[in-house]
Amino acid sequence: MRWVGTPSQAVEPLFKQEIVSSEDGHGCLVSATRGGRIVVTATEHYACHLAPIYLWMAGGMEAAIERGGLEIDSILCSRSKGGTAVDLGAGFGMHTIPLAHRGYSVLAIDSSSILLELLRSYIESMPVRIAEDDLLTFRKHSDSQADLILCMGDTLTHLSDLRSVEQLFSSVTAALRPGGQFVTTFRDYTSPLVEENRFIPVRSDNDRILTCFLDYSSEHVAVHDLLHERNGSTWQLRVSAYRKLRIPPDWVATTLQSKGFAVRVEPGLSGMVRVVGEKG
């Protein structure tokens, strides 16, 4: 769904199903609504709405890679540098590139062609292989056991249900060598935000404003991204929403422990939860 207008004006909805052109020139079909809500998949949401501005959201490539590098260093700590790594939901390479700089050979997998093209344009001769695919299929792109597997940024909540999360964990367990490490970060949506706290400013500048608000159901949270962009002397508003899974951190820890991991739960970047598991 898309609305057009200025931030201060009442805005008029267009058709609930339409083709919206993304910045790469491809058309994106927005799914029909249910009960008045916009229903799109995470892949559609990123292709049509977030991916073209994702680097802007992150503050630019250099700043994002620097933050990713700091997080990688805090994860690796005293572990020997180098080895093989898999970055699930790699995006434009916030963690892939720092891993490559630290001597890792990295498989970077993501479903967004736009974000992977940004990564591809940056890596040059780095030891990085790129796969455009669903997270759950990552093992078909790797023929050896990994030393490190990452699933960072809130990627885990893009899966449809807890059964899919457990399926991913089973694949991770099989793909890691003994002593290998799995690290995931995600937002804890288990305690709903209420009233005005559901509205979250993401980023803004003179020509673009991104705000999101959250709408909770029993197992998911609908994340509505409201993007205002300046078009000459007027503003254009585009709205899209998709569902994220509400994942209890203690469930993640317990599930990984049941698969033979020694687990610790700790704070991650930007208010996320970070779960670190070492395979026994």
Note whether 199 and 272 are same-domain residues. Answer: no
Q: How many domains does the chain have?
A: 2
Q: Tell me if residue 166 falls in helix, strand or coil.
A: helix
| In a domain? residue 65 | no
| In a domain? residue 33 | yes
pLDDT at site 80: 64
Domain residues for the domain of 170 are 79-188+247-279
Note whether 180 and 263 are same-domain residues. Answer: yes
Whichever domain contains 164, its CATH number is 3.40.50.150
Q: Model's pTM, two decimal places? A: 0.84
What token pair was written down for 33? 């609504």
CA distance 177 to 175: 7
Q: Rounded to the nearest 10 degrees, what angle do helices 249-258 and 162-175 cross at?
A: 40
Residues 6+ apart with CB under 8 A from 6: 234, 235, 237
| In a domain? residue 68 | no
What token pair was written down for 27? 């058309």
User: Among residues 210, 232, 214, which one has the least CA distance to residue 223?
Assistant: 214
| In a domain? residue 138 | yes
Q: What angle do CA 164, 87, 159 make, to 5 degrees?
A: 20
Q: How many CA atoms lie within 13 A of 236 on its CB side?
A: 7
Instruction: Return contacts of 33-42, CB within 8 angstroms, 24+ apart.
Output: 33/1, 37/215, 37/222, 37/241, 38/1, 38/224, 38/239, 38/240, 38/241, 39/241, 40/240, 40/241, 40/242, 41/242, 42/111, 42/158, 42/242, 42/243, 42/244
Task: Read off φ and ψ for residue 88, nearest 5 degrees.
Answer: -85, 125
pLDDT at site 14: 31
Burial of 37-59, coded b for 16+ CB within 10 Å and e otherwise, reads ebbbebbbbbbbbbbbbbbeebe
| In a domain? residue 52 | yes
CA distance 154 to 200: 16
User: Among residues 24, 42, 101, 38, which one has the least CA distance to residue 68?
Assistant: 101
Note whether 48 and 149 are same-domain residues. Answer: no
Note whether 127 and 177 are same-domain residues. Answer: yes
What token pair was written down for 9? 């004006």
| In a domain? residue 72 | no
Q: Cα separations (Å) of 59 from 63, 115, 157, 213? A: 6, 15, 22, 21
Q: Are 193 and 221 in contact (CB under 8 A)?
A: no
Note whether 108 and 156 are same-domain residues. Answer: yes
Note whether 113 and 89 are same-domain residues. Answer: yes
Q: Are 70 and 137 in contact (CB under 8 A)?
A: no
Note whether 118 and 210 are same-domain residues. Answer: no
Residues 6+ apart with CB under 8 A from 51: 22, 112, 114, 115
| In a domain? residue 161 | yes
Note whether 207 and 271 are same-domain residues. Answer: no
280 residues of the chain, pLDDT tens digit each:
333 344 433 333 332 333 333 333 333 433 333 334 455 777 777 777 777 888 888 888 899 999 999 999 988 875 667 899 999 999 999 999 999 999 999 999 999 998 999 999 999 889 999 999 999 999 999 888 999 999 999 999 999 999 999 999 999 999 999 999 999 999 999 999 999 999 999 999 999 999 999 999 999 999 999 999 998 989 999 888 889 999 999 999 999 999 999 999 999 888 899 999 999 9
Note whether 139 and 274 are same-domain residues. Answer: yes
Note whether 107 and 184 are same-domain residues. Answer: yes
Note whether 234 and 138 are same-domain residues. Answer: no
Note whether 139 and 207 are same-domain residues. Answer: no
